[in-house]
Structure 1
Amino acid sequence: MEQLNRFLLLLHVAAGSLALLSAIFAISFRKGAKNHNLAGKTYFWSMMAVAATAIPVSILRPNLMLFFVAIFSSYMAYAGWRFGRKSRYIMARQPYVEWAMLVVGIAMIFSGLVQVFTGSPMGWVLVAFGAIGLQFAVQDLRGWGKAEDFGTRISNHLSHMLGGTIATVTAVLVQQLVPRLDPSSPFKVIVWLAPTVIITPLIIIWARKVKATQKVRLFQK
């Protein structure tokens, strides 16, 4: 069992590293270009691999935080991929995945608050990620089945994909920094939340500009 856990962790780290690199490349390439599409597909499948390895690890070594964040990041990557594919934007299926994310978001917030009230400040991390996941799930459900213009669709694509990237960046920082901190150090919470606090405003600005101008480039006139 321990060997299986180590193997899954190795795959998890490799998939997370590939997801981070492909996200950087996807942002750098022009939307619609072959390089962008290839980087986007690589990012999507890497994020699916991240979740597929993180969930069993979180069960083998019970870790509620890892379990919830894996679901959150995989949902963001999936929804971002859906918005990025025009042919898959309006789907015939029922929004079961979106409803599931709504339930998970509520569960994350509840679990986080329980941890906070029992003396664990790390609960705020679950509250933050849960609130973001819940907000996106509600937004996606409200827009389900509606045809939207290019700017709105790509704005949704960007915000979801980059939201998933926040989880990937967070995971890298946590793996590198948190083990070096004292178990009771309050800086653990800062490490977990810093990428969200720093990157989220940039995502909002970019997504709003795309929606308003119908242009993807952040600094494009």
Structure 2
Amino acid sequence: MDMLNQIFLYTHITAGFIGLAAYWVPIFAKKGAVNHRRFGKAFLYAGYVVVTAAVLSIGTRAIRYALSDYSFEQLESFWGFAIFLGYLSLVTFIMLRFGTLVLWEKKDPTKLASAANLALGYGAIIGSVAVIAYAVLVRPEVTVVLLALSPIGLLVGPQIVGYFKGRETSKRGWWYSHMGAMIGAGIAFHTAFLVFGATRLFDIGVEGPFAFVPWILPTLIGVPANMIWERHYRKKFDDPKRSKLEAPA
């Protein structure tokens, strides 16, 4: 099982680097152009591989530890890590999937309101609640990190459900949703890289009061960036954000 876990781990790392490299091309490329679509797909598929490999890696280790004589207390750091990475993988998958789905039906998103698609939104909410419950009840070493990142699902889950149920009032709702979802997936990618990749690759050790900076820095940058970017495009399209009551019939 150790060899199998190593395969999953190196697959995860390789796909992660490919995804990180591909991510920035569509960000700056002309939207809808060849490079935007080509590298966007590369990021999408790399993301799916990253998520799958991460889940399989966590799963094989969890099975091995469950069959061992270790107590829960002895493996507390692993379970905290597993919860964090599992939640990060869930959010990444949901963002990638939602960001792709909104391109399928731009005029009437309610046509996408299948049980499987709505499960993306509800899954994000349930994932957040589960992480919060684990952090509060168990209080692992990474409690601060789990509580800092857990609201993501509570924020994006209702937005996804609302989008599929037709609560988006703008005709370009698919544009803002696609952009926000991909930025969200990018936040997850960069969080994983800073926490698990950069610290080992460049031998960077952040200690003391700044120890949690790598865990939350992408979120602190990405969320405001998404808000600024959406505001920019709404101004460009002369498309101010309206409530359902203010939307034109």
TM value normalised by structure 2: 0.76
Residue 158 (str. 1) matches residue 158 (str. 2):
no
Alpha-carbon contact 2:105-2:112 (below 8 Å) kept: no
Greater alpha carbon shift after TM alignment, 138-147 vs 151-160: 138-147
Q: In the aligned structure 2, how far is the partner of 1:84 from the partner of 1:129?
A: 27
Equivalent in the alignment of 2:88: 69
Alignment of 1:54-133 (within 5 A): 54-62=54-62, 63-86=82-105, 89=109, 90-94=111-115, 95-114=118-137, 118=139, 120=141, 122-133=142-153
Tell which structure's C-alpha radius of gyration is larger.
Answer: 2
Q: In the aligned structure 1, how far is the partner of 2:188 from the partner of 2:140?
A: 24
Q: What RMSD over aligned residues (CA atoms) do the two structures have, in Å?
A: 2.4
**Alignment size in residue pairs:** 211
Show structure 2 runs of 5+ residues with no match. 63-81, 239-249
Residue 172 (str. 1) matches residue 218 (str. 2):
no
The alpha carbon displacement at 1:212 in A equals 4.0
Q: In the aligned structure 2, how far is the partner of 1:181 from the partner of 1:107?
A: 29
Alpha-carbon contact 1:84-1:153 (below 8 Å) kept: yes
The alpha carbon displacement at 1:107 in A equals 1.1
Greater alpha carbon shift after TM alignment, 199-208 vs 106-115: 106-115
Q: In the aligned structure 1, how far is the partner of 2:17 from the partner of 2:192?
A: 10
* Deviation per residue, 1:6-54 (Å, 9 max, x gap): 1111110111111111210111211111221111111111111111000
Show structure 1 runs of 5+ residues with no match. 216-221
Greater alpha carbon shift after TM alignment, 189-198 vs 79-88: 79-88
Residue 208 (str. 1) matches residue 213 (str. 2):
no
Q: Aligned pair in 2 of structure 1 residues 150, 27: CA closer, same or farther (>3 Å)?
A: farther
Alpha-carbon contact 2:120-2:160 (below 8 Å) kept: no
Alpha-carbon contact 2:98-2:120 (below 8 Å) kept: no
Equivalent in the alignment of 1:218: none
Q: In the aligned structure 1, how far is the partner of 2:14 from the partner of 2:55?
A: 15
TM value normalised by structure 1: 0.85
The alpha carbon displacement at 1:181 in A equals 3.2
Identity %: 24
